[in-house]
Structure 1
Amino acid sequence: MSSVLYQLGRWALRARRLVVLLWVVVLAVVGGGAGLLMQGLDNEVSIPGTEANAALERLAATFPQVSGVSAQVVVVAPDGGTVADDDVRTPVEAAVTALGGVDQVAAVTSPYDEQLAAATNDAGTATILQVQLDGDLGSITDATKAALTDQVDVLRAALPDGARAELGGQLFATEFPAISVTEGLGLVVALVVLVLTLGSFVAAGLPLVNALVGVGVSMGLLFAATSVATIGSTTPMLAVMLGLAVGIDYALFVVSRHRDQLRDGLDVEESVARANATAGSAVVFAGLTVMIALVGLGVAGIPFLTVMGVAAAVGVGIAVLVSLTLLPALLGFAGERLRPKAGRKAARKAARTAPRRFQPASAGPATAAPAGDGQGDGSPTGAARERGVFAAWVRGVTRWPAVTVVVVVVALGALTWPATGLRLALPDAGVLPRDSDARITYDLISDQFGEGFNGPLIVTAPIVTSTDPVGLMNALADEIRALPGVADVPLATPNQSADTGIVQVIPEGGPTSVATEDLVHEIRALRPHLQEKYGVEIAVTGFTAVGIDVSAKLGEALLPFGIVVVGLCLVLLTMVFRSVWVPVKASLGYLLSVGAAFGVVTLVFQHGVLADALNVTRTGPVISFMPIVLMGVLFGLAMDYEVFLVSRMREDYVHGSGPGRARRAVHSGFRGSAPVVTAAAVIMFAVFAAFVPEGDMNLKPIALGLAVGVAVDAFVVRMVLVPAVMALLGEHAWYIPRWLDRLLPHFDVEGEGITKELALADWPEPGATDVVVAHELVVDGPRGPVAGPVTVRVPDGGALVVRGDTGAAVDAVLLSLAGRLRADGSGGAVKVAGFVLPERAGAVRRRVALVDAATPRPSAADAVRAAARAGVRGPVRAVVVLHGEALAERDRRDDLAAALAAAQAAGVAVLVGTTGADATDLLPGAPVADLPGRAVAEPPRTPIPVPVDTVPDTDDTEVSL
């Protein structure tokens, strides 16, 4: 992947005008498409298959008058009067008639109508006109809402002085979130951090441009997608929040690496290509983890949550794509203006970041950086050479690592404890700003009638077999009225066709209270009794019951989603770091970060700690999907910080030597990566925190949870707990069983592959055209080395016989050279057809044909001829023949020998493996590579010098080149 990103970065820089133009066109197209196709967002949250939702869908067919969304008009008489007074009654009756004539209105209750009576309080001073609409929340048009508002304004003007009329209810219980000036403060903070980190306004502006382009494209696609899918109103804000955060951070990693390379003297084009390959590889991995976690929200099986996760994942994916294409083009336009000015600070940083160099095998084991390079060695003198905040930080947290670990775990455990009482619910009008009409109506109903009138329940039952439907409904109402927690049962009636009946239940508690939730369970617990006594199967529904069922379903999804996320964390990090303990430590650290975020959200939104300062309009349960969204998003961000910190520690560990190298790697790796991680975390925190003070109440808990989670994960878990645990584990931190190491795929997250390719670009010498070049090739098996070391060179059209005592050893060497087997134990260097192995094994496989002489059909000779023809017409440059000793018949050996000679004449190199018998008759005069363990007939070949800056394979054993 790093090789592809290297070429992509170089192309984007060279074609920078075209790249910028293409992104401008993409922005224009998706923006225009959004304007033409957008169908609006949806504020309704439901889960198909729950009892409440299924019952509501049945009511839509059998009792549509009560199944749709409703609005409420609260009328309060002036002091000393009642709603029965003529000066109140006349305008109210006129308003009922006018409201009933509004489009999409199915029915309006009236306090003066015995058939469709409106609720009136005990004192007769207030009444609630229930406006039942024909349709769900998403189908009610803005024109209908405006007409209702206008009619209430008319009513308000007609009422006597001192009277009140307010409009609210389910239809107005949620508001569409919008970007405010406060959210822009996050970008200002990000700009300041970028300037301080990168030292240039030009460099600081690039990540902002990168993020804004990515957000613009993702928002255009999201709004255009409303024409084919139902998208919730919270989804765009979540996508904006994530898109800004990751877009800035991913660009920061690339720009920071680019400036470091410019400081080291690279030219602009080469630096951009390398930054795209190295930092870009980490960006791809980070983006993939966030996207996988977001798409993983679908594990809950909840449609609106799945859409939310997919939309946010698309935004992150676009941020990655912009960072890998548009950003290199912008870096090309910036050119030399991003090169840091020479100075003492730059010189010191260049010394600290200078790459380690490795000696050839003949020079002995690899050595650490020379004294005075600023890396430090853990000794008092090495520590004395290091100055700065991060050097002091890492020395402090690793001085007594066990104490640091205990303190962090206890502190975060205490912060997590409040989350044990976390309650979830869907928000209602009670969380809206206090000056909004819907919130005023909500509070007025609570004062005049009780909180339960803001969230009535509907109990429905099929009564088609009843001979007395009215009497049956009254009997069901009496049964329910006797339950604790019931404030009133104002309505119990069958529909016009007498096949379905409803009972309206007013709970004593509010819509999101524990008492109301308990009442729903109590009513459902009556089901067996009512079935036995009356022969009816009841169901509890209504928007309050729907919210309770949604919250329960989301709560049940947390455990399986957590298992998926933690399991994914273990697999991904084991694959990246080739370690058992690093993934375990990272997973436990992630859980501590999530727990702390949950704890803070509980303290603020449920217990009211700092609620006024954060503009929390009402304390109580937290929005139902906050935990699962926070877990998914924070997982990806936590893995980002883990990779950026620990990958540098692993790099320094692999390149180090001598006693104490594990501890030295913790110190040097932390110093090298902590500044960028700090800047990235501060930016993330600023962007998320900016959505808290004025944010939508649906998004506010998520934003606060993410801000706290990022801060805790970056500054406490990754920058305190991680170095302490790594220092405590020492060499054991990098342990992985050999079988597991071979089983897991390799992921080049830091671009080591392209670094190795660049180091070997002119190896074995400039202009060399050898098809196969191998120096000290060693192939490992499950129990140790299988074959090697092998040092060979095969030119174009050349030949080589690989001979050994065992077929396994010969096959291992040849399959490695053919790109079919990863030489994990190799501490040397291998290039085949100009591509470095094992990093470019895919390219090698397309250029090396593999023939098994032991297979009768097609014959080995025919297979070699086919490969030779492919070499003339296409990319094949070598043929590898296994089991050359299998051809005992002379005519078959002669046929194969002739085919091999023809292949050589066509310029295709041939390699033949054999055991026991010689293969000189197959390749007369060809050099023979005898594997260690048998007598060597030919003189030993001259070792091939390897560049001293070659990067070794990232195996967990020390290697030297």
Structure 2
Amino acid sequence: MFERMSDLAIRRSRLVLVVAALAVALMGVMGAGAFDKLLGGGFDDPSSDSTRAAAVVDEKFGGGTNLVLLVRPSDGRADAPAARASGSALVADLRKEKRLGNVVSYWETNSPDLLSGDGREAMVLANVRGDTTQQRENARAVLDTYGGTYEGGLTVRAGGGAAVGADLSQQVVDDLILAEAIAVPLTLVLLLFVFGSVVAALLPLAIAVIAIIGSFAQLYLLGSVTEVADTATNLTTALGLGLGIDYALLMVSRFREQLAAGAGVDEAVRRTVHTAGRTVAFSAATVAAALAALLVFPQYFLRSFGFAGVGVVAIAALSTLFVMPALLKVLGHRVNSGRLPWALPKGADSRGPLWGRLARTVMRRPALTALPVLAVLLLAASPLLGITFGTPDERVLPEDAQSRQVAQVLRDDFGGSQDSALDIAIEQPVAQGPLAAYAGRLAALGGVERVETSAGTHTRGRSAPAGPADPALGRPDAQRVRVVSTLTPKSDAAQELVAQVRSVTPPPGTDPLVGGTDAVLVDAKSSIADRLPLAVALVVLTTFVLLFLFTGSVVQPLRALLLNLVSLGATLGVMTWIFQDGALSSVLGFTPQPMEVAMTVLMFCIAFGLSMDYEVFVTSRIKELHDQGADDESAVVDGLGHTGRIVSAAAFLLAVSFFAFGTAQLSFMQMFGLGSGLAVLLDALAVRGVLVPAAMRLLGRTAWYAPGFLRRFHARHGLSEGGPEPLAAPGAAGASRAAAEHTTKV
């Protein structure tokens, strides 16, 4: 396969580039419509009770409340005659909107729960119609028309799920633009320092641009056939930029190394594809396998990241394997054009002497050097002992977001909000007596403010109705019950209330479905916890198989898995310390809250895949030298000397693309960017630089152990970085590394 790739690049290089240019143009056209295909949300399990409850409410009761308008008159109280007249006119206009349904206001119900404690603001509740995308668009249209100053001196502010979704979707786009505006130029500067040549530095960036454009095209295609979360754009662009640069960096470095060793252009292209190209292909497989584990989860937020992540990894790898060799063939020795003052002299050894010296020091004193690093990583992981989980709400938005401000007012100035109430759907007919008795049992639960039904309103702790019935909550074939509490949404107490509500004895012959924001959180955590063991098992099994194929050892995969878990634990611990405990909240400008459960799983899969990426880079070269007869210490020292510079440069460049999302205004995107970037650096520096050579020294010959039947299997089917031919003979300046550059046959 790699022979055919190299021949295509050598013989049809210009044709390959023309086809690639046309493909990029086509992908650009498709990618321009990607945002119209993407959805907000996606954190709930479609088969959960909470999702089914929402479906029943939508079908039989016109939808639950997802838009809350706070209306304040310019002077006086909201229940004054003038304010009442203006408010009633506003409500009449809202009822004419086809985008809205179930419009309810204080001025018609006179419910004290819809009036603030000081009487200055009144509440209007509504349901924004449509699916997630339509709700987002409809909410924006309603807010553009009625938000801000309205007729009669009214000031209207919007909150609720639909308003939060509209703000989130817009913030995703703003954050993406800012992050890429930072990452791309900074990455170019770093590439110039790494390569010391303008032309060589531009090549990885070209592959990254192809990967980013391709990622938007695949999002458009995926969004046309399945549900894809709008935040997938952030992942695909960060991964596309980072991996495109990583893979191209490996190819360009090997090509320049071949030229420096005296190979002709054609031969340098061929051997670059056979060596670095082979590593790119199977390194991409490790990342794709880790991301594919996200497909086991039912939430389309995670599944869309699985589809999109695998797609962008494939695009980055394919563009590197086909476009990059053609570019190298066309450029030839001009790849070194535009040399900069800090560039290595021609013929200089491209190995990283610092990495070789570090590996030698660690190998000679493994315990002394590795134990402090291990202790720091375990200390960094310690916040995981107190980790809690949640789902995104308005608090992930910046403090000046209107939907977040409205949510805070609802918590502070109103007696519980129907927007965050538990919404119970009963799909069977229920007589008024049993319904009232059920509501009384619910009202007796701790933290419940009131229970609203078609049989009456039950207030805190009272079994008999204390308020009027709401006929809109009842139908001959179904009933809807609203449980409004004083508990902080998504708190431990609020989640416990969900369990208590579900344990209350229902009316005879009924099976109530409990929904609402707190129920969605409970169900999401349960759903992810149920499928997490399968996802982890798939990641571990895939990693074990791939690393065995590279190393021929059953010990090396276990060593890699253990070290990766340590570095990932440290990363997640630091993120818990920052985002849950609020250590850097004043610096980054976010509100501390529980770790977002889906984003934490996503970050784990991405970081694990990328760590395996670098594991393949390093271990394959160590194995290659070991098979050539080098002793354990020489294989590790020379292997890290050859790959350490590339791995560290690739890690820094990839981390830049992730760290750029630290500028995001959405706190869970900040966590994703900072966590992924930190994981990459920890793995490349602490794990590859210190823990790997220490482990190799302590394991000794055991590191390469495999049972006899597996050794025979690996001899036939194993993978290595080397291609079918030896590398070009090095020139005088490269003679000292001839043995290390000789490659093995597959």
Using the size of structure 2 for normalisation, the TM-score is: 0.89
Mean Cα deviation higher: 221-230 or 339-348: 339-348
2:357 to 361, 379, 392: 392
Give the Å deviation of 1:496.
Answer: 5.0
1:412 to 359, 363, 377: 377
Gaps of 5+ in 1: 354-386, 760-946, 955-961
Correspondence for 2:71: 75
* 1:482 corresponds to 2:450: no
Whether the aligned pair in 2 keeps the contact of 1:71 and 1:168 (CA below 8 Å) is yes
* Aligned amino acid, residue 570 of structure 1: F
* Aligned amino acid, residue 169 of structure 1: G
Correspondence for 2:280: 283
Mean Cα deviation higher: 299-308 or 92-101: 299-308
* 1:706 corresponds to 2:703: no
Q: Which has the higher contact order (CA 8 A, sep 6+)?
A: 2
How far apart are the structure 2 equivalents of 1:406 and 1:948?
A: 30
Correspondence for 2:465: none
Correspondence for 1:49: 47
How far apart are the structure 2 equivalents of 1:730 and 1:724?
A: 10
Correspondence for 1:95: 90
How far apart are the structure 2 equivalents of 1:344 and 1:42?
A: 47
* Within-5 A mapping of 1:327-366: 327-339=324-336, 346=345, 349-350=348-349
What do the CA deviations read for 1:260-285 (whole angstroms, capped 9, x no partner)?
Answer: 11111111221112111110000000
* 1:665 corresponds to 2:635: yes
Q: 1:463 to 1:639 in 2, by over 3 A?
A: closer
Whether the aligned pair in 2 keeps the contact of 1:398 and 1:724 (CA below 8 Å) is yes
Q: 1:599 to 1:451 in 2, by over 3 A?
A: farther
Correspondence for 1:401: 366
Q: 1:952 to 1:645 in 2, by over 3 A?
A: closer
How far apart are the structure 2 equivalents of 1:252 and 1:748?
A: 25
**Does the residue aligned with 1:289 lie in a helix, a strand or coil?**
helix
* Within-5 A mapping of 1:79-478: 81-114=76-109, 119-140=114-135, 142=137, 145-155=140-150, 158-159=152-153, 164-174=155-165, 175-176=168-169, 177-178=172-173, 179-339=176-336, 346=345, 349-350=348-349, 388-449=353-414, 455-466=420-431, 469=432, 471-478=433-440
Give the Å deviation of 1:234.
Answer: 1.0
The CA RMSD over aligned residues, in Å, is 2.9
Correspondence for 1:571: 545
How far apart are the structure 2 equivalents of 1:86 and 1:408?
A: 71
* Aligned amino acid, residue 651 of structure 1: E
Give the Å deviation of 1:564.
Answer: 1.9
Correspondence for 2:618: 645
* Aligned amino acid, residue 571 of structure 2: A
Correspondence for 1:512: 490
Whether the aligned pair in 1 keeps the contact of 2:357 and 2:637 (CA below 8 Å) is no
Q: 1:746 to 1:689 in 2, by over 3 A?
A: farther
How far apart are the structure 2 equivalents of 1:697 and 1:709?
A: 18
What do the CA deviations read for 1:572-608 (whole angstroms, capped 9, x no partner)?
Answer: 1112101122111100011112211211111111111
Give the Å deviation of 1:343.
Answer: 12
Whether the aligned pair in 2 keeps the contact of 1:118 and 1:129 (CA below 8 Å) is no
How far apart are the structure 2 equivalents of 1:451 and 1:604?
A: 30
Whether the aligned pair in 1 keeps the contact of 2:33 and 2:220 (CA below 8 Å) is no
Q: 1:211 to 1:582 in 2, by over 3 A?
A: same
How far apart are the structure 2 equivalents of 1:90 and 1:118?
A: 19
Q: 1:731 to 1:253 in 2, by over 3 A?
A: same
How far apart are the structure 2 equivalents of 1:22 and 1:633?
A: 31
Whether the aligned pair in 1 keeps the contact of 2:659 and 2:677 (CA below 8 Å) is yes
Whether the aligned pair in 2 keeps the contact of 1:13 and 1:269 (CA below 8 Å) is yes
* Aligned amino acid, residue 755 of structure 1: E
Give the Å deviation of 1:609.
Answer: 1.0
How far apart are the structure 2 equivalents of 1:458 and 1:205?
A: 56
How far apart are the structure 1 equivalents of 2:186 and 2:342?
A: 27
* Aligned amino acid, residue 308 of structure 2: A
Whether the aligned pair in 2 keeps the contact of 1:576 and 1:746 (CA below 8 Å) is no
**Does the residue aligned with 1:510 lie in a helix, a strand or coil?**
coil
**Does the residue aligned with 2:724 lie in a helix, a strand or coil?**
helix
How far apart are the structure 2 equivalents of 1:5 and 1:952?
A: 15
What do the CA deviations read for 1:845-868 (whole angstroms, capped 9, x no partner)?
Answer: xxxxxxxxxxxxxxxxxxxxxxxx
How far apart are the structure 2 equivalents of 1:711 and 1:38?
A: 31
Correspondence for 1:612: 586
Q: 1:757 to 1:198 in 2, by over 3 A?
A: closer
What do the CA deviations read for 1:707-749 (whole angstroms, capped 9, x no partner)?
Answer: 1111111111121100111122222222222122223575665
Correspondence for 1:717: 687
* Aligned amino acid, residue 296 of structure 1: A
How far apart are the structure 2 equivalents of 1:310 and 1:225?
A: 8
**Does the residue aligned with 2:426 lie in a helix, a strand or coil?**
strand
* Aligned amino acid, residue 63 of structure 1: F
Q: 1:667 to 1:605 in 2, by over 3 A?
A: same
Whether the aligned pair in 1 keeps the contact of 2:261 and 2:347 (CA below 8 Å) is no
* Aligned amino acid, residue 51 of structure 2: N
* Aligned amino acid, residue 428 of structure 1: D
How far apart are the structure 1 equivalents of 2:78 and 2:516?
A: 28
How far apart are the structure 1 equivalents of 2:481 and 2:343?
A: 80
**Does the residue aligned with 2:488 lie in a helix, a strand or coil?**
coil
Mean Cα deviation higher: 590-599 or 278-287: 590-599
How far apart are the structure 2 equivalents of 1:951 and 1:77?
A: 79
Gaps of 5+ in 2: 455-469, 730-738
**Does the residue aligned with 1:19 lie in a helix, a strand or coil?**
helix
What do the CA deviations read for 1:871-904 (whole angstroms, capped 9, x no partner)?
Answer: xxxxxxxxxxxxxxxxxxxxxxxxxxxxxxxxxx
What do the CA deviations read for 1:630-678 (whole angstroms, capped 9, x no partner)?
Answer: 2221222111111111222222222235xxx111221111111110011
Correspondence for 1:603: 577
How far apart are the structure 1 equivalents of 2:399 and 2:582?
A: 16
2:652 to 671, 682, 687: 682
Mean Cα deviation higher: 315-324 or 139-148: 139-148
* Aligned amino acid, residue 520 of structure 1: V
**Does the residue aligned with 1:530 lie in a helix, a strand or coil?**
coil
- 1 or 2, which has the higher helix percentage? 2
Correspondence for 1:7: 4
**Does the residue aligned with 1:753 lie in a helix, a strand or coil?**
coil
How far apart are the structure 1 equivalents of 2:509 and 2:627?
A: 75
How far apart are the structure 2 equivalents of 1:747 and 1:403?
A: 38
* Aligned amino acid, residue 152 of structure 2: A
Give the Å deviation of 1:686.
Answer: 0.8
Q: 1:562 to 1:220 in 2, by over 3 A?
A: same
Whether the aligned pair in 2 keeps the contact of 1:95 and 1:152 (CA below 8 Å) is no
Q: 1:6 to 1:343 in 2, by over 3 A?
A: farther
Whether the aligned pair in 2 keeps the contact of 1:445 and 1:454 (CA below 8 Å) is no
Using the size of structure 1 for normalisation, the TM-score is: 0.70
Whether the aligned pair in 1 keeps the contact of 2:74 and 2:153 (CA below 8 Å) is no
Whether the aligned pair in 1 keeps the contact of 2:102 and 2:126 (CA below 8 Å) is yes
* Aligned amino acid, residue 611 of structure 2: A
Q: 1:297 to 1:744 in 2, by over 3 A?
A: farther
* Aligned amino acid, residue 669 of structure 1: G
* Aligned amino acid, residue 114 of structure 1: T
Whether the aligned pair in 2 keeps the contact of 1:615 and 1:694 (CA below 8 Å) is no
Whether the aligned pair in 1 keeps the contact of 2:259 and 2:268 (CA below 8 Å) is yes
Give the Å deviation of 1:65.
Answer: 4.2
* Aligned amino acid, residue 483 of structure 1: L
Q: 1:950 to 1:481 in 2, by over 3 A?
A: closer
Q: How many pairs are equivalent?
A: 712
